[in-house]
A and B are shown apart, each in its own frame.
Chain A
Amino acid sequence: MKKAHWEKNLVELIRRTSTDLPADVEQAIRKGLRREKKGTNAHDFLSMMLENAAMARRDSVPLCQDTGTLTFRFTVPTGFDTNGLASITRNAVSKATRLGYLRQNTIDSVSGEPYVTNVAHAAPVMEFLQGARKTVDARLIMKGGGCENVGRQYSLPDVALGADRDLEGVRRCVLDAVWQAQGRGCSPGVIAVCIGGDRAKGYAYAKEQFLRKLGERSDVKVLARLEDRLMRDIRHMEIGPMGLGGKTTALAVKIGSLSRLPASFFVSVSYMCWAFRRRGVLLGPEGGVHRWLY
């Protein structure tokens, strides 16, 4: 493993993720902009978001100062040295922090002291899967605290919401979560949902939905229909960009499902702000770039 090579390209992955808003997200914001009336706060705020995206890309500076929790997901060939890759990734994170692509954003929860390099136990988050290809598929999502704080998990049935253990119940949970969030998750957001699983995997699998492109509908028919229905419902709510009113509240709804125990039925909702930072890259055996994803 050529360490320097790997590190350089992982730093580049972080740089792109932090500074370069993916095309599908930008398009979705543009689409929202066309729907809003000129001169409204909604129109102004969406324009400023796009202006910000262009500026961050041009100057190679973070889209948002909250550079968030970094979650890497690596799919590696059989027999690949994942411990080595983990340690290189940690180095790349601390280097990207020194270069200003990441804010000093990691704090010891007991002492309150900052980890100045953003490296701590389980920070960054790394997940390793084994794949059939010879390349390493590296994906990174950066998710800030504002939108993370408005995520919600429901245990059905929920009497207050009138939510039973069915898809209508799921719909109610999602609408409630979006309403509770108002503009606090920096709307317009992407709403990822997991039906089922336990509490831990429920949130994790909801977040996996963020890896899907925004235009990609669920390949499970009933879930695809629910995604569409929720998009329409949410548009009616008119929470708008940053919660100031307007038609653009969500950019997409993504739903996945996991099996569950007979006794539990969780609906986990994760909210991603408009500054949706997601990038990926295919790296060869020596750490060279094959192709950038998204």
Chain B
Amino acid sequence: MIKHIEYPFTEEKIRGLRVGDKVSLSGRVCTGRDRLHHFLVKGGKCPVSLRDGAMYHCGPVVMREGDQWVVRAAGPTTSIREEPYMARLIETLGLRVIVGKGGMGEATRMACRDHGCVYLQAVGGAAALLASCIERVDGVHFLAEFGSTEAMWEFHLRDLVAVVTMDARGHSLHRTVERRTRKTLKDLLSE
């Protein structure tokens, strides 16, 4: 069964999600990659409030058509690169949802548990499909400074499907799979 969540995300709703749950996400999300995370952690001011909001690890392909932005491709990027910054940002900005791929590390797992945040794994590489869930672009920040890929895009989503892989109870599906497969690897190597 699919669980619908919509911005602004309440702590109660987020804490009700469990690893393995399939969710469909709607409302505002902001993209952020390496430059933005680095900037925010160094004390840069966030141009939009991310309290009870969602951060999408994504560097989209966006084209200007007339006076509109058109998103052509917007799949998730590897999240682990933001591991040095994520826990701080969850705490200081009040993030409730992170969308990305590949999962994150221990500091983020703890921050999700302590502050009520979840990590969602979207389908990596499914850029066209995920772009089709973006209803409109509400704004863009740092376009000139960071370039289009690293800029902070404000997207309004409709039903982006992803799986909870780190929940607010301290569980991580990435960790579970890694541990289980390590055992199988050991077996295969002792053949």
Contacts and interface: CB of A to CB of B under 8 A. Distances in A.
B188 A243 contact: no
Contacts of B77: 66, 146
Interface stretch (A3-11, A44-52, A217-225): A44-52
Interface stretch (A76-84, A122-130, A230-238, A254-262): A230-238
Point out which of A44, A56, A145 has the most chain B C-beta atoms below 10 A from its C-beta: A56
Contacts of A239: 177, 181
Given A179-B182, A237-B184, A52 B127 contact: yes
B73 A242 contact: no
B101 A186 contact: yes
B174 A182 contact: yes
B177 A63 contact: no
Contacts of A105: 149
A48 B123 contact: yes
B188 A237 contact: yes
A49 B73 contact: no
Given A184-B102, A186-B101, A243-B177, A236 B184 contact: yes
B92 interface: no
Interface stretch (B4-12, B47-55, B56-64, B107-115): B56-64
Nearest to B80: A184
Nearest to A55: B128
Interface residues of A, number: 50
Contacts of A145: 78
Contacts of B188: 175, 233, 236-237
A62 interface: yes
B74 interface: yes
A273 B147 CA distance: 26
Q: Is the interface of A mostly helix, strand, loop or mixed?
A: loop
Interface in B138-191: 147-149, 161, 163, 165, 173-174, 177-178, 180-182, 184-185, 188-189
Interface residues of B, number: 45
Contacts of B180: 238, 245
A64 B102 contact: no
Contacts of A240: 177
B108 to A, nearest CB: 15
Nearest to B183: A237
B75 interface: yes
A87 interface: no
Nearest to B78: A146
Contact of B22 (A41, A144, A273): A41
B72 interface: yes
A145 B123 CA distance: 16
Nearest to A51: B129
A176 interface: yes
Interface of B: 20, 22, 58-61, 63, 72-75, 77-78, 80, 101-103, 121, 123-132, 147-149, 161, 163, 165, 173-174, 177-178, 180-182, 184-185, 188-189
11 contacts: A59-B128, A62-B127, A65-B61, A179-B185, A182-B177, A183-B174, A184-B102, A237-B181, A238-B177, A239-B181, A273-B125
Given A237-B185, A245-B173, 11 more contacts: A67-B61, A100-B61, A114-B147, A176-B185, A182-B177, A182-B181, A183-B124, A186-B124, A238-B177, A239-B181, A273-B125
List 10 A-B pairs, minimum CB-CB distance, nearest first. Answer: A65-B73, A186-B124, A275-B125, A52-B129, A52-B126, A64-B125, A56-B128, A184-B102, A65-B127, A62-B73
